[in-house]
Structure 1
Amino acid sequence: MPSDCPCGRTDPRGRPVAFDQCCGRYLDHDVPAPDAEQLMRSRYSAFVLGRLEYLRSSWHPSTRPADLTLEPDIKWLGLEVRDHRPVDANHAEVEFVARSRVAGRGQRLHERSRFVREDGRWFYVDGDIR
């Protein structure tokens, strides 16, 4: 397991937060993410770590793909959360940029994602790529 969380969260002094104190509690201990931003960060960490089951379980059933595979040669380089906007008590949006490298070529995914909370759990619904 990584010592620093792959999502890049830092403490108030700018030091990286440990995986087990950040996204690890959601990925490894079935603790519900407290908000849409933390769910999005934990999903990024799941992509980095290849945790398909977590990605499936945190994707809303209404939009979850039947088959989910990860790009085999992708190297995730970092995450920048640009905005977390609660819409109401059970809906939120998170804008982020995720950087990666595939076959030596840099890529960036800029998305505004939509999330819904049902029965106390947040789920990724869908997003608009920018």
Structure 2
Amino acid sequence: MKIILISSMIIFSISLILMMMNQVISKKTFKDREKMSPYECGFDPKSHARIPLSIRFFLITVIFLIFDVEITLLLPAINNLKTTNPLEFLITFIFFISILTLGTIHEWKQGALNWKN
């Protein structure tokens, strides 16, 4: 009980010292209008509150999320290589990679990856 009390006192005092140091150091920084204003994706947040979202940006985000989830599903499959039949693993792996490749080719032909248009 005594050790828990002492350790919590030490943690509390270190936290208090760090907060005081933060207040002392932060008062010496240079604060101007640009540093104090919020950054909202490159546009002035005080002028237009409802600027439409770019559909291209949204599509690229969705494509990234799909591929990210697929890669997340692919990584644990490497651990299963030891316990499964190598031929079954190879067929599953080739099927999975072919889906990724065909999806990328489809998006490329649709023009979703072309930023200049």
What TM-score range do you get, normalising by the shorter chain?
A: under 0.3
Q: Which has the higher helix share?
A: 2
TM-score (ref. length: structure 2): 0.19
Q: Which has the higher strand share?
A: 1
TM-score (ref. length: structure 1): 0.18
